[in-house]
Chains A and B, each alone.
Chain A
Amino acid sequence: MDVVLLSRLQFALTIMFHYLFPPLTIGMGVVLVYLEGMYLRTRVPAYEAAARFWTKIFALNFAVGVATGIVMEFEFGTNWAVYSRFVGDVFGSALAAEGIFAFFLESGFLAVLVFGWDRVGPRMHFFSTLMVSLGSIFSSIWIVVANSWQQTPAGSHIVAVERGGAALLRAEITDFWALVFNPSTVQRLVHVWIGAFIVGAFFIMSISAWYLLRNRHVDFARRSFAGALLLGTVASLAALVSGHSQSRNVYRHQPAKLAAFEAHFTTGRGDLSVFGIPDEAAQTIRANVAIPGGLSFLLHDDFSTPVLGLDRVRPEDRPPVLLPFLSYRTMVGLGVAFAALTLLASFLHWRGRLFGTRWLLWVFVFAVAGAMVANQAGWVAAEVGRQPWVVQPPILRGGDGEPLLDADGYLRYATETVRLPDGSTREVIAGLRTADAVSEVVTAGQVLGSILLFGFIYLLLGALWIVVLNHKIHAGPEPPPAERGEDLAGAAGALIGHRRSMTETPEAST
């Protein structure tokens, strides 16, 4: 196997494993802020007990997220040295900003959040929770800015630098704010946040639903579930709106990517495939069940407006279709399902019947896996759909806003004129191909070795995470502090009826 494929596989493995945790942290952070805020306002001890319990699980997720995140930062340099040389001027600033603005904030206040319960007052503790939550949101900003610049570069130009007699190309910043607010940043960032809120909400609903089904920690579980359901419903509905608007933005700036999402091979009316398997060799979708003109309608509000297909992209610039098509459909399908599920649950909650609807609670126990899959699938679609570019050059548009085509009828990508060290000029493409981006000196054997090592550690880490999580869930939340020490005799008396945990009602445990 070649180094490019292996390096891509390793990147996919490490980023996908890493990305199980940041959305959880971002989403759970919001719920923690809510629970602690409610405790500060109402002083109901159950809120504090809930916050303490979720903090332990939050800390576990956070630690695994940090440990696997360092791998990402190093991997740009170890496996993608040419890419690092090309993007360092642009991408590095965002990464450094992430370190200084987000990571220090998160890690500093995380210490107070996790270890400070008995050392600082409730206000300071709430403030720390707020800061950790903000920090995790900040960190998503900078990494999404950097990734969005790779999708839709702006605020930068290409220059040639001399080294050992040869000219090396690299992108340099021309306008920092244009780079930060490149055409896809805001849309993608909002979508990433929504995805994270869904994961966090479904994670908490999953564990709470399990407690409710087991009739354990009922008061705690109801409070947690209700809070998370609110977040989950709002986020699931927002995901549909954001997703729709984002797909239009992708079509505008990366038509090849959208064509891959939809397996839209030939320019013309866009049908929306509901089910099917794309056949790239035959340029068709097999077993296709499609809504005629559905894609045209989604993109243009009209059932017959032509949609650019992959036939307008040079064969060497076409992304693979199967993986983006399937992963995009997985994400959209799950997104629609979340909206339906959370709306139904909210309706039942309003009617006061939610916690008695056992089958729905069972669905929520497992739905968190779907939320994880949807987040992963969205990223797979976004990153594989960008291929064969690691930094995709912008497409050129004419004065009328329509894409410009070259003499062969293909979409035109932006080029730039760079001045070489010897004084001559050269026309270069304003992007970088993935195949050209790997490290010069790293061998296939080395990458294979590191894939095996990371695979082994992550397998172990994943297994341990599940073991410990399971252990924590079984142990359940601790009793609120008020019940713990103030009245020893009362607590001792209460213990007789509370064999498993003091937040359970005596009736529940018998």
Chain B
Amino acid sequence: MTLEMIWFVLMTALLTGYAILDGFDLGVGMLHPLARDEGERRLFVNAIGPLWDGNEVWLVTFGGALFAMFPEAYATIFSGFYVAFVLLLFALIFRAVSLEFRGKIASARWRRAWDWGFFGSSLLATTLFGVAVGNGVLGVPLDTRGVYAGGFVDLMGPYQLLTGGLTLTLFALHGGLFLHLKTEGAVQERLGGVLWHVWGVFLVLYLLTTIFTLLTVPSASANFRHYPWAGAVVVVNVLAIAYVPRGLFLRRYGRAFLASTVTIACMVFLFAMAVFPNVVPARNDPALSWTIYNAASSPKTLRIGLLIAGIGMPFVLAYTGIVYWTFRGKVRLDPSSY
């Protein structure tokens, strides 16, 4: 295993952590309009209140690590997808502000405005992530120097919109299951009903995406010839997806949430398999792709980064553990809540 491969695995791990953790709080944002009164709306927001900020740090660290370890990929992606990233930043700022400001002033109109800001920004951010995944699988046009050679419209084809929709429903499902664990009574019952529909739409999009990918993007499954064991992940993925309705039916919501977590982990893994060994695949000519080798920093930097990650990650997991343990159980509103 080369240093570059280790870093590709670590980047995948960071992305998995991000997708699982921010996945549920983005999902809560998208389901927020289901709350019927101020009490329920506060409940939804406070379910993720102490957690969303830490979850977003996974994305910040992913961005920082991409800059450090694969600077060529970072530069090409971020400058090439300029409009998409500005929109994403817009959504992330708006989301943070909506969460933080909504509870600060006791006015119904003020709070309703931020509620829509929270919903809209969660929806926009998730869609953009999903579209980015689609572009990663398909590849993007690059010129000979490895600079993005397309426009905003090239990023928004039918396949990318399909993966965008898939991500939306997956995060909504994941967020809904999380909320179900965090709430009680009537609102919990209502969520239970909605989750069936969300799962149904997700299943349809999942099947469509799978068929579309297998038929039209041969590069996405090419790696399975080299790494046949990865087929096991596909099986686990299907089992996890199938467990969600079983968990809903048997009222084992904790396990259903675990199943959606596993589903997300598997899907990030499959995404990484579709891209590897590229970091930015070139759609026009595979030879122009940024791979983990030609996009990487020097071996010395990769080693230093590994040392930093080795020292830091146990701490990160410890903090994450402490916070999730402190705020375990059903949401309780107290004077310090949002």
A423 at interface (Cβ–Cβ under 8 A)? Answer: no
Which residues on B sit within 8 Å (CB–CB) of A64? Answer: 96-97, 100
Q: Which of A220-253 contact B (CB under 8 A)?
A: none
Determine whether the beta carbon of B301 is less than 8 Å from that of A92.
Answer: yes
Smallest CB gap from B114: residue in A? A464
A99 CB to nearest B CB, Å: 4
Q: Does any Cβ of B come within 8 Å of A66's Cβ?
A: yes
Task: Report whether A81 and B78 are in contact in the complex, using a CB–CB cutoff of 8 Å.
Answer: yes
* CB–CB A172/B297 < 8 A: yes
> Which of the candidate stretches B24-32, B169-177, B302-310 sits at the interface with the other chain?
B302-310
Q: In the complex, A95 Cα to B187 Cα: how many Å?
A: 42
| Cβ of B77 under 8 Å from chain A | yes
Interface membership of A373, Cβ < 8 A: no
Residues of A157-207 contacting chain B, CB below 8 A: 159, 161, 163-166, 168, 170, 172-174, 176
The docked-state distance in angstroms from the alpha carbon of A101 to that of B60 is 12
Q: Which residues of B contact A98 (CB under 8 A)?
A: 64
Contact present for A471 and B301 (CB under 8 Å): no
Q: A interface, by DSSP: helix, strand, loop or mixed?
A: helix
- Among the stretches B33-41, B197-205, B315-323, the one at the interface with A is B315-323
Q: Which of chain B's residues has its CB closest to A438's CB?
A: B79
Q: How far is the CA of A386 from the CA of B123 in the complex (A)?
A: 41
Query: Do the beta carbons of B96 and A63 come within 8 Å of each other?
Result: yes
CA distance A174 to B322 in the complex (A): 38
Contacts A111-B53, A176-B304, A442-B79: A99 and B323 contacting too (C-beta < 8 A)?
no
- Is B146 in the interface zone, CB < 8 Å from A? yes
Of A73, A81, A96, A110, which one neighbours B76 at CB under 8 angstroms? A81
Give a binary string over A422-453; 1 marks a CB under 8 Å from any B CB, 0 the rest. 00000000000000000111100010011001
**Structural contact, A118 and B71, CB atoms closer than 8 A:** no
Nearest chain B CB to A240 CB, angstrom units: 35
Chain A residues in 8 Å Cβ range of B216? none
Choose among B79, B320, B335 the residue that contacts A441 (Cβ–Cβ < 8 A): B79
Q: Is B230 an interface residue (CB 8 A)?
A: no
Cβ distance A95 to chain B, nearest Cβ, rounded Å? 4
Check B144 against A165 for contact (C-beta < 8 Å): yes
Given A66-B53, A104-B319, CB of A112 within 8 Å of CB of B326? yes
Question: How far is it, in angstroms, between the C-alpha of A165 and the C-alpha of B326 when the chains are bound?
Answer: 56
Tell me whether A173 and B67 are in contact (CB under 8 A).
Answer: no
Q: Contacts A172-B297, A457-B93 given: A164-B68 contact, CB under 8 Å?
A: no
Bound-state Cα–Cα, A194 to B236, Å:
54
**Chain B residue contacts of A89, Cβ below 8 A:** 68, 71, 297-298, 301
Q: Which residues from A are CB-within-8-Å of B89?
A: 70-71, 74
A478: chain B residues at CB < 8 Å are: 335
Q: Mark A93-114, 1 if CB is under 8 A from B, else 0.
A: 1011111110111011111101
Whether A441 lies near B148 (C-beta < 8 A) is yes
Shortest beta-carbon distance, A364 to chain B, in Å?
25
Given contacts A108-B323, A119-B326, A471-B105, contact A100 B54 (CB under 8 A): no
A85 at the interface (CB under 8 A from B): yes
Partner of B57, one of A96, A104, A446: A104
Contact B64 A96 (CB under 8 A): yes
**Is the CB–CB distance between B312 and A101 below 8 Å?**
yes
Across the interface, do B74 and A88 meet the contact criterion of CB distance under 8 Å?
A: yes
- The complex places the Cα of A103 from the Cα of B143 at a distance, in Å, of 36
Chain B minimum-CB-distance residue to A60: B100
Do residues B301 and A93 form an inter-chain contact, with CB atoms below 8 A? Answer: yes
How many chain A residues touch B (Cβ–Cβ < 8 Å)? 79
Question: Is B323 a contact partner of A112 (Cβ separation < 8 A)?
Answer: yes
Contact present for B71 and A88 (CB under 8 Å): yes
B145 sits at the interface (CB 8 A): yes
Contact A73 B75 (CB under 8 A): no
Q: Check B57–A440 contact: CB distance below 8 A.
A: no
Is the Cβ of B90 less than 8 Å from the Cβ of A88? no
| Cβ contacts A58-91/B at 8 Å (1 or 0 each) | 0110011011111101101111011011011111
**Cβ of A468 under 8 Å from chain B:** yes
> Contacts A78-B82, A164-B146 hold; do A96 and B308 have CB atoms under 8 A apart?
yes
B104 touching A100, Cβ below 8 Å: no
Q: Is A115 an interface residue (CB 8 A)?
A: yes
Indicate if B238 sits at the interface (CB-CB under 8 A).
no
Is there contact, CB below 8 Å, between A450 and B74? no
Across-interface contacts of B77 in A (CB, < 8 A):
77
Does B336 touch A at the CB level, under 8 Å? Answer: yes
* B271 in contact (CB, < 8 A): no
**Bound state CA distance, A250 and B327, in angstroms?**
48
Q: How far is the CA of A115 from the CA of B145 in the complex (A)?
A: 49
Chain B binding surface, main DSSP class: helix
* Total chain B interface residues with beta-carbon distance under 8 A: 74
Would you call B69 and A92 a contact (CB within 8 A)? yes
A353 within 8 A of B: no
Q: Is A111 in contact with B327, judged by CB distance below 8 angstroms?
A: yes
Kindly list chain A residues whose C-beta atoms are within 8 Å of the C-beta of B196: none
B294 interfacial by beta-carbon distance below 8 Å:
yes
B304 surroundings in chain A (CB, below 8 A): 93, 173, 176
Q: A67 vs B146: C-alpha distance in the bound complex, in angstroms?
A: 30
Q: How far is B76's CA from A59's CA once the two chains are assembled, in angstroms?
A: 35
| Interface pair B144/A164, CB less than 8 Å apart | yes
Q: Closest Cβ of chain A: how far from B327's Cβ, in Å?
A: 7
- CB-CB under 8 A from A59, the residues of chain B are 100
Contact of A100 among B50, B294, B313 (CB under 8 A): B313
A88-B74, A115-B49, A441-B148 in contact; A95/B79 too (CB < 8 A)? no
Give the contacting residue for B68; candidates A93, A165, A439, A446; CB below 8 A: A93
Decide if B334 touches A107 in the complex (CB within 8 Å).
no
In the bound complex, CA of A77 to CA of B144 (Å): 19
Report yes or no: A115 in contact with B297, Cβ–Cβ below 8 A: no
Residues of A with C-beta under 8 A to B319: 104-105, 108-109
Please pick, from B68, B85, B326, the residue contacting A111 in the complex, using a CB distance under 8 A: B326
Instruction: Please name all residues of chain B whose beta carbon is closer than 8 Å to the beta carbon of A471 when the two chains form the complex.
Output: 104-105
Question: How many angstroms between the C-alpha atoms of A48 and B250 in the bound complex?
Answer: 47
Known contacts A99-B65, A108-B54, A164-B145; is-contact A66 B312 (Cβ 8 Å) = no
Q: Which residues of B contact A468 (CB under 8 A)?
A: 101, 104-105
Determine how close the nearest CB of chain A comes to the CB of B70; give it in whole angstroms. Answer: 8
CB <8 Å contact, B322 and A163: no
A-B contacts, 7 of them at CB < 8 A, read A70-B93, A84-B78, A93-B68, A99-B64, A112-B323, A164-B146, A468-B104
Q: A residues engaging B (CB < 8 A)?
A: 52, 59-60, 63-64, 66-71, 73-74, 76-79, 81-82, 84-85, 87-93, 95-101, 103-105, 107-112, 114-120, 159, 161, 163-166, 168, 170, 172-174, 176, 439-442, 446, 449-450, 453, 457, 461, 464, 467-468, 471-472, 478
What 3 pairs across the A-B complex have the smallest Cβ distances?
A: A88-B71, A77-B78, A92-B68
Extra contacts, 14 of them, besides A114-B50, A446-B82 (Cβ < 8 A), are A70-B89, A78-B86, A82-B75, A88-B67, A92-B65, A92-B74, A96-B309, A101-B315, A112-B323, A115-B336, A116-B327, A439-B79, A442-B82, A453-B86
